[in-house]
Every structure is written in structure tokens, then in C-alpha cells.
Structure 1
């Protein structure tokens, strides 16, 4: 089964980021071959420049999947399409 990386980009103190983290963590939990990476725009100037007004952002293998609010069913479907 090929692996997939789910990246959550946000920042500390962002309530939408906290909500997104809860959804992503729940969806990813227990899925083999799925890696969850969390990045902060506070720690990365390039991420800040690109996403500062769109966080939270969820990437699937470096492609934008979701901006602002994460839909659990949509994320599950996207992972299922990739064999997860």
C-alpha cells in the first residue's frame, strides 16, 4: 500500500487550526501508510508568505486538499481513493 502524507499547516492560538487538528487526527488515526505532519506558519517564512491568510490548510502529498474547515468525510474519501 503506497504511503500518503497529510500535512496540517496552521499556527498556535488559531481556533480553526485546533478544529482542523481534531478532525485530521481522528480521520488519520489507525490508517496504515498515512503520515500526519503538522507545520506552523510561525516557524517557516515561506509557509507564512504563502498561507498566512488561508490557515488552516491541509495538504495531501503536497497538494492543497482543504483550506479553513476540514470536512472529515471528504478527507476520508480522498484517503480511500489513494488506497488508505
Structure 2
């Protein structure tokens, strides 16, 4: 089995981000991928402004194994297909 990492880029007060985080947490439990949630504003305050500059206007953004996969929502059918095809 291939070990996948999903990073969800979010910001505080983003209801779509909260929904995406909840659904990805459920899927991580079912499918076994590693899930990290990163607040782009917190990252920028900590010195990494690149994430906010690149993705800040399209949140939430789902990164699969470091590459942009979807934004504004979790493209669940595509994500399931991509996770399955990489195994």
C-alpha cells in the first residue's frame, strides 16, 4: 500500500475549510492517509508567507502528496480515484 499525505490549507473563520477538514478527517480514518491541516495565516505569521501568497484566495486547498489537487471544496470522486490509482 502506498502511503499518501494530504495537506489541507485553511484559515480561521472559513466555513468551507471547516467542512473540508471534517470530511478529510473521516476519509483519513477510512483510507489511512496522513492528514495535516495548515492555516496559511498562521504559517505566514511564522515566516512562511509563500503558502498564503500562492493559495490564500482559493481556500480551502487540498494538496495530495505535495501537489495541488483541488480547491474551494474536496473533489472526493477524483481524490478517491487518485488515491486508488497510486496504489
Where on the TM-score scale, by shorter chain, does this alignment land: which range? 0.7 to 0.9
Note the residue ranges of structure 1 that are not aligned, 5 or more in a row. none
Match of 1:39 in 2: 38
Q: Return 48-57 or 69-78, whichever deviates more.
A: 69-78
Q: Is 1:17 matched with 2:21?
A: no
Aligned equivalent of 1:65, options 42, 46, 69: 69
Find the aligned partners of 2:37 and 2:83 in 1 and give their Cα distance. Answer: 17
Aligned residue pairs: how many?
A: 82
In the TM superposition, residue 72 of structure 1 has moved relative to its aligned partner by 2.3
**Distance in 2 separating the partners of 1:81 and 1:11:** 30
Runs of 5+ in structure 2 lacking a partner? 44-48
Correspondence for 2:79 = 75
Structure 1 partner of 2:46:
none
Runs of 4+ deviating beyond 3 Å:
none
Q: TM-score normalized by structure 1? A: 0.86
Q: CA deviation at 1:53?
A: 0.3
Decide which structure has greater helix share: 2
CA RMSD of aligned residues (A): 1.3
